[in-house]
Amino acid sequence: MKTFIIRRLILLIPIVFGVMTLTFILIHAIPGDPISVIAGEQSRQLTPEERDRIAESLGLNDPLIVQYVRYIGNLFRGDMGMSIATRAPVSYEIAERLPDTLMLTASSMFIVILLSLPIGIISALKRGTWIDTVAMTTALIGVSMPAFWFGIMLMLLFSLTLGWLPTVGQGKTTIDYIKSLILPSVTLSMVLLGLVTRMVRSSMLEVLNKDYVRTAHAKGLRNQFVILRHELPNALIPILTVITGQFANLLGGVVVIETVFGWPGIGRLTVNSVFRRDYQVVTGAVLIFSAIVIIISLITDILYSIIDPRIRLQ
Amino acid sequence: MAEKVIKLNVGKEKVAKSNSTSLTSITWRQIKKNRLAILGAITLLLLTLIAIFAPIISPYNPYETNYSSVKKPPSAEHLLGEDELGRDVLSRMIYGTQISLLIGVGVVAIAMTIGVPLGAIAGFYGGISDQIIMRIVDILMAFPFIVLAIAMVSVVGPGLLNMMLILGGVTWIWYTRLVRGMVLSLREADFVVAARALGASNRSIIFRHLIPNVLGVVVVQASFSVAEAILASAALSYLGLGAQPPTAEWGAMLSSAKEFMRTLPVMSIAPGIAIMITVLAINFIGDALRDALDPTLRQ
Amino acid sequence: MKRVHVLLFSVLILLLGITVAPLAAQDEGPCPQMGGTFTFGVDSMIPFDPLTSNSDWSYYVITNVFSMLFRIESGQPVPDLAESWDISEDGTVYTWYLRPGMMWHDGNEIFAEGESREVVASDVVYSLMRSVEDTGSMLPADMRQVFESIEAVDDYTVVLTLNAPDAIIYDKARGLTMTPIIPKEAVDFYGDEFGLHPIGSGPFEFVSYSPDEEVVLTKNEDYFIEPCLDSVVVKVMPDVSSAMIALEAGDIDWWGSVLPGDDYDRFNGDDRFQIINFGCPVETRITFSVNQAPFDDVRFRQVMAVMKDGQAINAALRGSTHVHGGGTAGPGVAGYVEDLYDTYYTYNPDLAKQLLDEIGIVDTDGDGLREWEGENMVIPMYSGNSAPFPDYVAAMVDAAANVGLTIEPVITDFGTFSATRNNGEWGIYQEAGWCGEGGTNSLWGEGGFASPLGYADDQIFEWLAQAAVEMDEAAREEQLQNATKRIAELYWDPSYGFFNIFTVKRSYVKDFFGGEWTLNLVTEDHNVWIAEDER
């Protein structure tokens, strides 16, 4: 196990390196330069000399390969560089936002678990009935809507019409914070709800189809809930691993939702920085993002092997 | 998204067994028992018909502007009202069916064309080719998918075709991982050994024997991906990188109607509901296919 | 939304060489209601170093945290750090008399509580020199060009010398004279991160900043006028639709970015809201790479002007905020020519077709599409992707189709758009966002914003350059009108027309003066307060 983890951690390095290089190439391949964008946001005309002077001061005039080597060198010293738009360190920009994004994804996970278990179990128990149909349709409806539209619909209903929840931004006190977290996390949880409910349902069906369960049923142990109580934990473990495996997917889904709800997260930062050609912020944010994804997938793999010893870690 | 579900099954080597039966023998009985699948199939059929006959059933030209009558609520002449340039919303919805379905199917076709052979090659040959392919997959997997799509759209420029190429170009990895896993477990299966004994080339083993055997699971993944591609194109439209105006595409219509959400709700509700119904229908079908493929769920 | 150059008439007075005596300090009467928090939303914000901050909306914070020599209100200069000032008759020497007793904000890492120091002339010199000299400064070239020297005569007197009078492009002088005044100690201490710890001497002290989320300011009791408000909170709301819901739900009191056209009508009829005009109509126009065929032919540019029903399109997309007119300067702006639209831009598809026939772009194979250089003519149209620009493009596609031309939209984010434009790619560009005489000059002047697309006409350059130093108002107006007319004659600017831009506030926010891209919450004339009982 130990060697497996070490091996995987070593493997992480080339992947992160690859991600970083690809990001670096992609972001520089996009037409446009940060200085024109920043000046343009202000409709200021910069003469070519002006642009050149600012570019020089930011080190943007050096050949790409020089910038790349310098970036890697700084990275090894723990310096992720500076944002061109805000002149703040990239590590500051990321550190300010990462906890917010993690909070949002974690609370969406919580909502997914909270909703998918009952819906999935009920629809498995009532398989083929109209209850099954209604339950599964409910679980799928959220994922079938474009997230930004669904989010605004929720906001119209719960914030404007009913006045229960705040609209945009983050609450300051604990209670306000939780309130402001509800709408974005519900919207985000829809990304996964359909998938996880489906998983719960089929795991349950698997359990219900097992011979001894059928036998018990045949013997007159009519209450399936009794069986469920014993079997549920076993059925849940693969579901949980699937959920952790979907963490990356959730992180991807935050871009739009953070924008709609004004949530100060890393997804919004990344996309805005792509638009601003803020090279080092994009590279840094993607780097952190992919490291999280890789580490979570490592944890998932370890979980798998613990649950199912047949899967050997090699 | 569904990739993980199937991967789990692969881990348990169930799919491999079930796959000795081909896609065609996935029992029609199985699917037809599933109410939702029937509903999904009928809906999708209807949408396809709408798409095909758009020029006939559409009451107006979806691109014809009329500045003397803009932002109008539904009326007898314009059942879904008129948009900010005085175009008939219903006609645009009808034409939008063509484009949204095209995006969904196009993206998946591109992704499968790249992903399936690569996965089969990686799984079948192993070694260096496996290493190279899977490292690329690992890198792309670790990327935030939407950020990758945004960056690539910015590099190659906007447009429907480019958007399809890019969405296909970032999602092929799902198929590669899926197919590789299954091919890996089928590589030593009896029918492969037999084919090899009969002198079949590697190429023919991959394309004649292995790929047809994994196609069932791939189709399930594909059905979910069609739904996702439609949603992803809407997300790109929201970020201002989607289909180019004046193209009548649902995602683009939805995001431009956002501005009129309060004054003219029907303009955003119509494409929103249309996307929802389409994605839901496709998901129902995908679910049914998956259930039908999973032997433990057969009764 | 781009920065719009608004500050006009004040400038005339200022730069005609008339010494504007600052208004006598008004009674600092008690506020009708003290206290409360003013919360407003903007769509983006970045840190607050005046040197590098490029975001218009960051200026809402910068102008309240820092004091400047003077502020602009309703087009009039009002004193701030400078109590009064003189301008030499030739318009090149500005003498500023500073207000004694202005203190830097205290209770921070630089100045401990109660241990602040006075803002003096050398601070003004430092702040201006920093923005002129720093290599990373966003201060544009034309502002540097006009700068000659700055000198602290004594602790309370600063003399700024320009190398040319600055009549029309008040922008240049503004960049210098409206530089926020910052303490050198703080910049030395924080370095690049000064923007995260802004310390100034303005009416509000900086409390906290969460990127992409909010900024909190609290009142500076030592300011020479005590602010009525206790605190100010700025919330960042990147999605305009949700921001409008937030405004309606009462989560914010003012929306500081620009109000979308459709919401204008909705809020306009509602007592709970008041709409504030920014004061200068913004032009919407198309441009092209003029030295490339066929755009080098004035007739072809005229086709672009008359093939579309600009006013109808603009009215459809901008609703009630649309203003009739065409050309570079809108109604109320120096250089405005009233009949410009009717003379040059009136919708006339038949004329467009006739001109195309004359040029030789005709349909020879009978497919309804005109050919150019042997192929069906397909013109790319470049545009940014923020609403409603894509709709303007859609309207142009339709208009072009009616005269047998095909327009192919290329709608991208602003970065790609500006790169395409800087490269002068062949095609049509959708543009908007300039207003006023500063806009006319920045766009069409020599080396101006339109120059990468090949716009160059010596006559226009001359008129604009003369107007820039012409101190006689009537003479300057004539030169500007000449330039505007010539721009129209050359069909440099097939415009759709103008639209006014607005923000909206809740009615319970009182004595509010918003607009003109800076936000003055506390001046001698205005001191914003909140009627809590009406909330």
Q: What is the mean pLDDT of chain B?
A: 82
**Selection from A242, A214, A215, A213 nearest residue A230 by Cα:** A213
Alpha carbon distance C335, C476 (integer Å): 8
In chain A the domains, ranked by start, together with CATH numbers, are 98-265 (1.10.3720.10)
- Measured in angstroms, the CA of C134 and the nearest CA of chain A are apart by 9
In chain B the domains, ranked by start, together with CATH numbers, are 30-58+89-297 (1.10.3720.10)
Beta-carbon pairs below 8 A across chains A and B: 159
Asked if C208 and C317 sit in the same domain, the reply is no
Chain A residues whose beta carbon lies within 8 Å of the beta carbon of residue B154: 30-31, 274
Instruction: Specify if C26 maps to a domain.
Output: no
Chain C residues whose beta carbon lies within 8 Å of the beta carbon of residue B70: 316
Alpha carbon distance C159, C150 (integer Å): 6
Model pLDDT for residues A8-23, shown as the tens digit of each residue = 788 788 888 888 899 9
Asked if C223 and C287 sit in the same domain, the reply is no
Instruction: Specify if C297 maps to a domain.
Output: yes
Chain C residues whose beta carbon lies within 8 Å of the beta carbon of residue A33: 415, 419
**Selection from C347, C337, C356 nearest residue C305 by Cα:** C347
Asked if C245 and C298 sit in the same domain, the reply is no
Per DSSP, helices labelled H in C43-180 are 58-65, 121-133, 141-146, 170-177
Q: Give Cα separations from C425 to C36, C72, C289, C359 (angstroms).
A: 53, 39, 7, 22
pLDDT of residue C22: 35
Q: Give the mutation candidate from C385, C413, C425, C455 for the A interface (greatest A CB count, under 10 A).
A: C413
Instruction: Count Cβ atoms below 10 Å from residue A118 Cβ, excluding itself.
Output: 12
Alpha carbon distance A101, A95 (integer Å): 10
Is the Cβ pair B154, C413 closer than 8 Å? Answer: yes
Instruction: Specify if C526 maps to a domain.
Output: yes
CB-neighbour burial class of residue A108 (10 A; exposed 0-12, middle 13-18, buried 19+) = buried
Mind spelling out the 3-state secondary structure of B169-228? Answer: HHHHHHHHHHHHHHHHHHCCCHHHHHHHHCCCCHHHHHHHHHHHHHHHHHHHHHHHHHHH
- Measured in angstroms, the CA of B205 and the nearest CA of chain A are apart by 27
Chains with 3 or more CB pairs closer than 8 angstroms to C?
A, B
**Selection from C300, C278, C291 nearest residue C500 by Cα:** C278
Alpha carbon distance C337, C500 (integer Å): 17
Cis peptide bond N-terminal to C388, omega within 30: yes
Q: How many domains does chain C have?
A: 2
Is the Cβ pair B261, A152 closer than 8 Å? Answer: yes
Sole residue written with tokens 């200068």: C280
- Token pair in block for residue B249: 């595409």
Flag the least confident range among A124-128, A211-215, C373-377: A211-215
Alpha carbon distance C534, B216 (integer Å): 65
Chain A residues whose beta carbon lies within 8 Å of the beta carbon of residue C196: 88, 92
8 A C-beta contact, residue C442 and residue C448: yes
DSSP conformation class of C301: H
pLDDT of residue B159: 85
Instruction: Specify if C73 maps to a domain.
Output: yes
What is the DSSP track for chain B? -THHHHHHHHHTTHHHHHTTS-GGGS-HHHHHH-HHHHHHHHHHHHHHHHHHTHHHH-SS-TT---TTS-SB---SSSTT-B-TTS-BHHHHHHHHHHHHHHHHHHHHHHHHHHHHHHHHHHHHH-HHHHHHHHHHHHHHHHS-HHHHHHHHHHHH--SHHHHHHHHHHHHHHHHHHHHHHHHHHHTTSHHHHHHHHTT--HHHIIIIIIHHHHHHHHHHHHHHHHHHHHHHHHHHHHTT-SSPTT---HHHHHHHHGGGTTT-HHHHHHHHHHHHHHHHHHHHHHHHHHHHH-GGG--
Asked if C368 and C464 sit in the same domain, the reply is yes
Instruction: Specify if C82 maps to a domain.
Output: yes
DSSP conformation class of A89: B
pLDDT at B24 over 60: no
Asked if C374 and C462 sit in the same domain, the reply is yes
Alpha carbon distance C418, A20 (integer Å): 26
Instruction: Between B95 and A35, name the one with better pLDDT.
Output: B95
8 A C-beta contact, residue C412 and residue C393: no
Instruction: Between C274 and A4, name the one with better pLDDT.
Output: C274
β-strands C37-42, C231-236 pairing: parallel
pLDDT tens series, chain C, 535 aa: 333 333 333 333 333 333 333 333 344 456 888 889 999 999 888 889 888 776 668 888 998 999 988 887 776 778 899 999 888 888 788 899 999 999 999 988 889 888 889 999 999 999 989 888 887 776 766 677 778 889 999 999 999 888 877 654 344 455 666 788 999 999 999 988 899 999 999 999 999 999 889 999 999 988 999 999 999 999 999 888 899 999 988 899 999 888 877 788 888 888 899 988 877 788 888 999 888 989 999 999 999 999 999 889 988 888 888 888 888 888 878 888 888 888 999 999 999 999 999 999 998 888 889 999 888 999 999 998 888 888 999 999 999 999 999 999 999 888 888 888 888 899 999 988 766 666 777 788 887 788 888 888 899 999 988 887 777 778 888 988 999 999 999 988 898 888 888 889 999 998 887 655 678 899 888 899 998 888 7
Alpha carbon distance B139, B152 (integer Å): 15
Alpha carbon distance A123, A201 (integer Å): 7
CB-neighbour burial class of residue A146 (10 A; exposed 0-12, middle 13-18, buried 19+) = buried
Q: Give Cα separations from C7 to B85, B263, C147, C479, C499 (angstroms).
A: 34, 34, 20, 19, 17
Write the residue in A137, A202, A289 that is nearest to B294 by C-beta: A202
CB-neighbour burial class of residue C338 (10 A; exposed 0-12, middle 13-18, buried 19+) = exposed
Alpha carbon distance C286, A45 (integer Å): 18
pLDDT of residue C258: 80
**Selection from A136, A122, A134, A131 nearest residue A224 by Cα:** A122
Hey, is the C-beta of B155 within 8 angstroms of any chain A C-beta? yes
pLDDT at B5 over 90: no
- Measured in angstroms, the CA of B209 and the nearest CA of chain C are apart by 45
- Domain of C440: which CATH number? 3.10.105.10
In what order do the strands lie in the sheet containing C157-162?
C82-87, C93-98, C157-162, C147-154
Centroid of chain to Cα B272? 18
- Measured in angstroms, the CA of A252 and the nearest CA of chain B are apart by 5
- Measured in angstroms, the CA of A91 and the nearest CA of chain C are apart by 13
A310 contact partners, CB below 8 Å, separation of at least 6:
none
Alpha carbon distance B174, B112 (integer Å): 9
8 A C-beta contact, residue C232 and residue C216: yes
C373: left (phi over 0), alpha (psi -120 to 50) or beta: left
Alpha carbon distance A238, A240 (integer Å): 5
Is the Cβ pair A252, B139 closer than 8 Å? Answer: no
Write the residue in A209, A246, A256 that is nearest to B4 by C-beta: A246
In what order do the strands lie in the sheet containing C322-323?
C322-323, C495-499, C282-288, C428-432, C378-384, C406-412
User: Which domain covers residue C115, as residue numbers?
Assistant: 34-275+502-534
Which residues are registered as beta bridge partners of C210? C214
Which residues are registered as beta bridge partners of C73? C76
Query: Residue B62: CA atoms inside 13 Å, Cβ hemisphere, count?
Result: 24
8 A C-beta contact, residue C405 and residue C379: yes
Model pLDDT for residues B219-261, shown as the tens digit of each residue = 888 888 888 888 888 888 888 888 888 888 998 898 888 888 8
Chain B residues whose beta carbon lies within 8 Å of the beta carbon of residue C397: 63, 245-246
Instruction: Specify if C295 maps to a domain.
Output: yes
pLDDT of residue C456: 87
- Token pair in block for residue C166: 């600055």
**Selection from B20, B210, B189 nearest residue B119 by Cα:** B210
Instruction: Specify if C13 maps to a domain.
Output: no
Chain C residues whose beta carbon lies within 8 Å of the beta carbon of residue A50: 140-141
Asked if C308 and C379 sit in the same domain, the reply is yes
DSSP conformation class of C522: B
- Token pair in block for residue C99: 């207000």
Instruction: Specify if C9 maps to a domain.
Output: no
Asked if C98 and C212 sit in the same domain, the reply is yes
Chain A residues whose beta carbon lies within 8 Å of the beta carbon of residue B294: 202
Whether ipTM exceeds 0.90: no
Asked if C252 and C302 sit in the same domain, the reply is no
pLDDT of residue C171: 46
Q: What is the mean pLDDT of chain A?
A: 82
Asked if C450 and C527 sit in the same domain, the reply is no
Chain A residues whose beta carbon lies within 8 Å of the beta carbon of residue C138: 38-39, 42, 44, 54
- Token pair in block for residue C513: 């003066």
Alpha carbon distance C255, C274 (integer Å): 11
Is the Cβ pair C138, A43 closer than 8 Å? Answer: no
Asked if C342 and C445 sit in the same domain, the reply is yes
Beta-carbon pairs below 8 A across chains B and C: 85
- Token pair in block for residue A27: 């972001």
Radius of gyration of chain A (CA): 24
Q: Give the mutation candidate from A8, A137, A148 for the B interface (greatest B CB count, under 10 A).
A: A148
- Measured in angstroms, the CA of A214 and the nearest CA of chain B are apart by 12
Please give the model's pTM, rounded to 2 decimal places: 0.85
Write the residue in A22, A128, A206 that is nearest to B296 by C-beta: A206
Alpha carbon distance B103, B108 (integer Å): 8
pLDDT of residue B277: 92
Amino acid at B256: S
Model pLDDT for residues B140-164, shown as the tens digit of each residue = 888 877 888 888 888 888 888 999 9
Asked if C354 and C412 sit in the same domain, the reply is yes
Closest Cα in chain A to C248: A160
Element (H, E) at A7: helix A2-29
Alpha carbon distance B106, B247 (integer Å): 17
Element (H, E) at C210: strand C204-210
Query: Helices A266-276 and A90-125 meet at what angle, rounded to 10?
Result: 130
Chain A residues whose beta carbon lies within 8 Å of the beta carbon of residue B234: 146, 148-149
8 A C-beta contact, residue B111 and residue B171: yes
- Domain of C518: which CATH number? 3.40.190.10
Instruction: Between A237 and C41, name the one with better pLDDT.
Output: C41
Is the Cβ pair C235, A262 closer than 8 Å? Answer: yes
Asked if C173 and C58 sit in the same domain, the reply is yes
- Chain B, 111 to 140: residues with Cβ < 8 Å from chain A are 135, 138-139
| Averaged pLDDT for residues B68-88 | 87
Nearest-5° Cα angle at A57, A56 to A58: 90
